[in-house]
Each structure stands twice: as C-alpha cells, then as structure tokens.
Amino acid sequence: MGEYVKQNFVPMILAQMNFRFGPGDPLREIVALQKEFEIFSLEHSLRDSFNLLNVGPQDERQRRGFFRYLDDLKNVEAEGVGLKKLDGHTAIITALKGNLEGKSPMPVFFAYHLSTRGKQAVKVTTTAAMEFSPIKYLTVSLPTLPEK
C-alpha cells in the first residue's frame, strides 16, 4: 500500500480488517450482514463494501488513498484456485462472497506481500494464518510496493 497509504497506517488497517472477519462473533456478524445485505457482490466495489463496514484510516487523506488502492486492485492479477482469470479486485469480492455464503464460512485473514511493478497479484489461499492456531482461514494477501 506504500504509494497510497503511509506505512504507519497499514498495520491499523490490517488489524481492522482481520478483526472484522475474525473467528467467533465477528465472523457470525459478517456472515449475517452478507446474508441480509450482500455486502460483497459484483454489484458493489471493494471501496463501497469496506466503506460500509467502516474499515480504513480515520485520516481523510489516508482513507482516500486506501480506497484508491482498493480500486486499483482491478489492475493486478489474482492467484488462487479458480481465480486465475480474474483481476485482484474481482477475485477478492468473489472469494469473500463464496466464503461468507458457504456452508462452513471461515474467518478471513488479510495480509500483505511485497511485489514489484511488473508482477503484482492478489493471493487467495486457505491456511492456518497464525502458526499457533489450528483455525483455518481464507487468507487474502494484498500486493504492496515500497513507499517512496
């Protein structure tokens, strides 16, 4: 997120995202919201979905940068089962929708990985996101570029 959001805001954004989709009550709440309002759907952008969930920096300039970053995921590739032909933006929406509407929704863990200008991709996997936990997560790793 380096070009869009200053680095000191990134851990806070990831914490918000990971808490909002975490195991237990947060997951039950987001599943119910998805069922009632279809927050994650190809009818809505990630910008709108995360804005609705109030995920993002409170600082207005950084918030605009975060939403611009989400919009620009339309210009990166996606890696993951069944996601190869999708752009990163569409892949995240598709993965979240499928997971939250599935029979056994998993909590979602958002992470980031360093990428290069020539090769950026959203990576979607199913993993035990934290080594000390047996809980399987849908893991969405977001591509980042170093801050200039």
pLDDT more than 70, % of the chain: 92
- Asked if the model's pLDDT at residue 118 lies above 80, the reply is no
The Cα 46–Cα 2 span in angstroms is 19
Higher pLDDT, 65 or 107: 107
CB 122 within 8 A of CB 78: yes
- Beta bridge mates, 127: 137
For residue 134, what pLDDT is reported? 81
Listed in sequence order, the residues at least 6 apart from 36 whose beta carbon sits closer than 8 Å to its beta carbon are none
Report the range of poorest mean pLDDT among 15-19, 39-43, 109-113, 130-134: 130-134
* Locus of tokens 């611009």: 68
- pLDDT per residue over 53-96, tens digit each? 999 988 889 889 899 999 999 999 898 877 778 999 999 999 99
What is the pLDDT, as a whole number, of residue 28?
97
Q: Given this model, what pLDDT does residue 84 score?
A: 73
Backbone angles phi, psi at 38, to 5 degrees: 45, 55
Q: Could you tell me the pTM of the whole model?
A: 0.90
As a whole number of angstroms, the distance between CA 77 and CA 79 comes to 7
